Amino acid sequence: MAVFFCVPAANGFAPDKETPNDTHPTFDVGLFGAVGNGTNFDTKAIQSAIDAAASAGGGLVRFLPGKYLSGSLRLKSHVTIWLDKGATLLGSPHRADYSKLATRADYGKLNFYALLLADGQEDIGIAGEGVIDGQGTRLVADTRHIMPQRNPPYADEIERPFIINFRDCQKVTIRDITLTNSSCWTEDYHNCRNLTVEHIKVRAMAAITTDGVDIDGCSNAVVRDCDFDTEDDAICLKSSDRLCENVLVENCRVRSSCYAFKLGTASTKGFKNITCRNLYIYDTYRSGIAVECVDGGSLENVNISNITITNTCNAIFIRLGHRNRNGSIGSLRNVTISDVTAEIPNRPREEMNKFPADWQGHGNHPLIPSSITGLPGAPVRDITLRNVSLIFGGVGGKSKHKEHQLEDQLGDVPECADKYPSCAMFGSLPAWGFYCRHADGIKFENVTLKVKGKDFRPALICDDVKNLVLEGSHILSAGSEPVIVLKRVAGATIHNSPAPKNCVQFVKKI
- Going by their DSSP bridges, the two strands 484-495 and 507-509 should be labelled as parallel
Mean pLDDT of 80-100: 98
Look at residue 399 and tell me whether its pLDDT is greater than 90. Answer: no
Domain shared by 165 and 298, yes or no: no
Which tens digit of pLDDT belongs to each residue from 429-487?
999 999 999 999 999 999 999 999 889 999 999 999 999 999 999 999 888 889 999 99
Query: For the chain, what is the mean pLDDT?
Result: 90
The whole-number pLDDT of residue 477 equals 87
In a domain, residue 252? The reply is no
Question: Residue 211: how many CA atoms within 13 Å on its side-chain side?
Answer: 24
Burial of 123 (0-12, 13-18, 19+ CB in 10 A): buried
- What is each CA distance from 290 to 132, 217, 320, 411, in whole angstroms? 29, 18, 11, 24
Q: Residue 347 and residue 349: Cα distance in Å, rounded? A: 6
Q: Residue 207 and residue 183: Cα distance in Å, rounded? A: 6
Look at residue 349 and tell me whether its pLDDT is greater than 80. Answer: no
- What is each CA distance from 436 to 67, 108, 374, 461, in whole angstroms? 53, 36, 9, 6
The whole-number pLDDT of residue 356 equals 65
In a domain, residue 191? The reply is no
Helix (H, G, I), strand (E, B) or coil at 139: helix
As for how many domains the chain has, the answer is: 2
Q: CB under 8 Å to 500, separation ≥6 — which residues?
A: 474, 475, 476, 477, 478, 483
Structure confidence at residue 1 as a pLDDT band (50, 70, 90): very low
pTM of the model: 0.93
Structure confidence at residue 102 as a pLDDT band (50, 70, 90): confident
Q: Residue 2 and residue 157: Cα distance in Å, rounded? A: 34
Kindly write down the DSSP assignment for every residue of 416-435, as one continuous string: -TTSPP-TTTT-S-S-SSEE
Write down which residue in 158, 181, 204 finishes a domain: 181
The whole-number pLDDT of residue 428 equals 87
In a domain, residue 189? The reply is no
Alpha-carbon dihedral of residues 380, 383, 388, 394, nearest 10 degrees?
20
Residue type, 434: F
Look at residue 65 and tell me whether its pLDDT is greater than 60. Answer: yes
In a domain, residue 137? The reply is yes
Look at residue 94 and tell me whether its pLDDT is greater than 80. Answer: yes
- Going by their DSSP bridges, the two strands 244-256 and 219-224 should be labelled as parallel
Q: Residue 393 and residue 1: Cα distance in Å, rounded? A: 56
In a domain, residue 483? The reply is yes
Please give the residue that has the higher pLDDT: either 362 or 405. 405
With beta carbons less than 8 A apart as the criterion, state whether 89 and 70 touch.
yes
Helix (H, G, I), strand (E, B) or coil at 335: strand
CATH number of the domain encompassing residue 132: 2.160.20.10
Write down which residue in 165, 181, 197 finishes a domain: 181
Which tens digit of pLDDT belongs to each residue from 114-170?
999 999 999 999 999 999 999 999 999 999 999 888 888 899 999 999 999 999 999
Which tens digit of pLDDT belongs to each residue from 422-435?
999 998 899 999 99
Identify which of 134, 97, 100 has the alpha carbon closest to the alpha carbon of residue 211: 134
- Going by their DSSP bridges, the two strands 178-180 and 122-128 should be labelled as unpaired
Q: Residue 405 and residue 437: Cα distance in Å, rounded? A: 15
CA torsion sign for 356, 357, 359, 362 is: positive
Residue 427: what are its φ and ψ, rounded to 5°? 80, -155
Instruction: Look at the chain and count its residues.
Output: 510
Q: What is the domain range of residue 76?
A: 1-181
Q: CB under 8 Å to 9, separation ≥6 — which residues?
A: none
Residue 368: what are its φ and ψ, rounded to 5°? -120, 125
Please give the residue that has the higher pLDDT: either 13 or 248. 248
CA torsion sign for 326, 316, 188, 8 is: negative
The whole-number pLDDT of residue 10 equals 28
With beta carbons less than 8 A apart as the criterion, state whether 286 and 309 touch.
no
Domain shared by 306 and 430, yes or no: yes
Q: Residue 323 and residue 329: Cα distance in Å, rounded? A: 9
Look at residue 2 and tell me whether its pLDDT is greater than 60. Answer: no
Write down which residue in 124, 157, 181 finishes a domain: 181
Which tens digit of pLDDT belongs to each residue from 173-216?
999 999 999 999 999 999 999 999 999 999 999 999 999 999 99
Identify which of 185, 123, 128, 196 has the alpha carbon closest to the alpha carbon of residue 160: 185
The whole-number pLDDT of residue 7 equals 31
Q: Which of 81-95, 263-277, 365-379 has the lowest mean pLDDT?
A: 365-379
Mean pLDDT of 392-410: 69
Residue type, 12: G
Identify which of 45, 47, 41, 49 has the alpha carbon closest to the alpha carbon of residue 74: 47
In a domain, residue 202? The reply is no
Residue 90: what are its φ and ψ, rounded to 5°? -100, 125
**CA angle at residue 496 from 449 to 491, to 5 degrees?**
90
The whole-number pLDDT of residue 13 equals 33
Tell me what percent of the residues of the chain surpass a pLDDT of 90.
Answer: 79
In a domain, residue 48? The reply is yes
Which tens digit of pLDDT belongs to each residue from 253-280?
999 999 999 999 899 999 999 999 999 9
In a domain, residue 304? The reply is yes
